[in-house]
Amino acid sequence: MSQQPLGTLSTENLQTLYTQYQSKQLALDLTRGKPSAKQLNLADRIDGILESSFVASNTDTRNYGGLDGLADIKALGSWLLDTPESAVIAGGNSSLTMMYQTVLFQKLFNPSWQGEISFLCPTPGYDRHFSICEELGIKMIPVPLVAGGPDMELAEELVSNDKSIKGIWCVPKYQNPTGVTFDDETVARLANLGNLAGDGFIVLWDNAYAVHHLDNKHPDPLADFWALSEAAGTLDSAFLFASTSKISHAGSGVAFMACSDTQRAFFLKHLGMSSIGPDKVNQLRHVKLFPTKSALANHMALHAELIKPRMELVVRKLDEHLKAPSQGEWTRPNGGYFVTFYAPQGTATKIVALAAGLGVKLTPAGATHPYGNDDSDSVIRLAPSFPSVAELDEAMDAFCLCVALATAQ
Ligand code: PMP
């Protein structure tokens, strides 16, 4: 790749370089935020960790029962969710499933959710949240995500005036896809939203990256949403989620949620129609793997050693090759799995197509927006966790080349 910043090359030179790059026949993927195999290896000793001791607190984990999860794993849930242990429900391997069930049960069984309902969707956001709304016929109202979180002025105005709004999606820490962490004022205002909205309003607080700091010593602080909701008298609106998917093994972790006593009884009543209990054996494995909060923190520091160089590489390549803001702008997250690239208006689709032409797969433009509609055609989510550093290096050169070409005059 050129020593000169790509963003400074002439269109002609960029085109020549693009043709040269095509002949490399790259096959690189920056789409989904999957942990790399090396990250998964960190938790491999979970296999066999029980050494045939299946009993915990007088519970034979091999048997049926315990719909709200094994008592011993509630501590791990409370560390991730930042709630009292008594509020925690430990489930199967996916917090997304618990979010889906939460929305589904409200939609089916909450009298105030009947008729046409809508959700506020901080945008850009997580595409799978939006898919849940689409699947269940819930209208999505985008709310811009700004420096400290969702635009609260707008969110408050909307819920005050439109009582069909029954929920808001939040990824409060190292947000997917921007990496933004919500500031204290935003968290307090989100906790108060239930006081402004109509009956049955809920906040889906998806803290998927709660402990996923790049630097353990300097994590982004996040205000205590549970305590603020309690203080605001809105605890029945608060639904908090997290999982060990990006801590232990992504496909076989443990998911958690927390909510008020009333909502817990409602959720478990309906969950109980579809399950006799979760996989408590796997829950006990996780208790053994993470016996203390510091064991968890130490484990996350090992993840950071793998993911930090990748996140830094992405930002460094963008800094080196592109000139902000004429060739785009980008986030500098302190944790999580994603960097968001804001391409100049109207160029994201072109950049993604140019990258595909070089064999570099990017998340489709618009995927970070409700209904796939990014009116400004600007947002591109970069997910650097899965490729090797060498592959990422090459993919980012190719990406910067495509941005430079797409934005060339
Ligand atoms: N929430 C967010 C914000 C995520 O980024 C992801 C994973 N990409 C999930 C939820 C999925 O979590 P789980 O594996 O627990 O279903």
**Residue boundaries of the structural domains of the chain:** 6-30+296-407, 53-291
pLDDT in tens, 366-375: 999 999 999 9
Largest CA distance in the chain: 73
Write the CA distances from 205 to 80, 190, 398, integer angstroms.
12, 10, 36
| pLDDT band (50, 70, 90) for residue 71 | very high
Q: Look at the domain 6-30+296-407 and name its fold.
A: Aspartate Aminotransferase, domain 1 (3.90.1150)
Q: Is the CB of 245 under 6 A from ligand 1?
A: yes
**Which of 80, 145, 245, 286 to probe ligand 1 with, by most ligand atoms within 8 A of CB?**
245
Residue 32 confidence (pLDDT) = 80
Give the position, in ligand 1's atom list, of the atom nearest the Cα of 243: 15
Separation of CA 176 and ligand 1 centre (Å): 9
Separation of CA 95 and ligand 1 centre (Å): 7
Residues belonging to the chain: 409
Distance, CA of 259 to CA of 238 (rounded, Å): 6
Residue 25 confidence (pLDDT) = 87
Instruction: Kindly state the average pLDDT of the residues 71-77.
Output: 98
Contact 148, 183 (CB under 8 A): yes
Residue 58 confidence (pLDDT) = 93
pLDDT in tens, 123-147: 999 999 999 999 999 999 999 999 9
Are 6-30+296-407 and 53-291 equal in CATH topology?
A: no
Q: Is the CB of 266 under 6 A from ligand 1?
A: no
ipTM field: 0.99
Question: pLDDT at residue 222 above 70?
Answer: yes
Looking at the domain that runs over 53-291, which CATH code has it been given? 3.40.640.10
pLDDT in tens, 299-337: 999 999 999 999 999 999 999 999 999 999 999 999 999
Q: Is the CB of 232 under 6 A from ligand 1?
A: no
Question: pLDDT at residue 2 above 70?
Answer: no
Instruction: Kindly state the average pLDDT of the residues 190-208.
Output: 98
pLDDT in tens, 380-400: 999 999 999 999 999 999 999
- C-beta atoms surrounding 21 within 10 Å: 21
pLDDT mean across residues, the chain: 96
What pTM did the predictor assign?
Answer: 0.97
Q: What is the DSSP string of 333-396?
A: -SBSS-EEEE-STT-HHHHHHHHHHTTEEEPPTTTTSGGG--TT--EEEE--SSS-HHHHHHHH
Residue 118 confidence (pLDDT) = 98
Residue 3 confidence (pLDDT) = 72
